[in-house]
Amino acid sequence: MNNKFKPNTDERPIMIVIGIITLYILIAGFISYLYCLHRIQFIPAIISIGIFTAIYLPRLLIINKLKNKDSIKINENSITINNQTVLFDQIKDFRVQKKKPQVVFFMNNSMVVFQEAEFHLLLNNNYQVDFTAIGTEKINLLTEFLKTLKGY
């Protein structure tokens, strides 16, 4: 249980979701609190929450990416991507496009980041399989596995 909430420099989906939602609720709640105390008026409160939501939107979209991620399983002689099996013998080449990692939030002098990469597998019949992997550790392990598989 304690391992799920341990902050580190890698992804923990539950930490990312909790951090994003908590920070949004804190700031939007504080703006609403100021409105309830009559420190700011209704229109500036709505405008400031709208601006904050627009700035915070990329982090809110991370939750959608985590929910819709591809399912990747490595079997004994094949890799299964979203219930589509590709044999290791069929893989001719692969390419990885890593996206810049996004820092979601800081906790206990550690940062929790979100990184995703798009993998392109070229098969022997010139058919290409594309999938997205989420997580720095998963991306590195999958890249190393494909490199050793192809002998790079």
* Per-residue pLDDT tens over the stretch 28-74: 999 999 999 998 999 999 999 999 999 888 877 888 888 888 888 98
| Cut 0.75: pTM above it | no
Residues 56 and 122 in one domain: no
Q: How many domains does the chain have?
A: 2
Q: Print the SS3 string covering 69-104.
A: CCCEEECCCEEEECCEEEEHHHEEEEEEEECCCEEE
- Contact predicate 146/129, CB 8 Å: no
Residues 99 and 140 in one domain: yes
Residues 115 and 139 in one domain: yes
Enter the DSSP assignment of 152. -
Question: In this structure, what is the dihedral angle of CA atoms 39, 41, 46, 47, given to the nearest 10 degrees?
Answer: -90
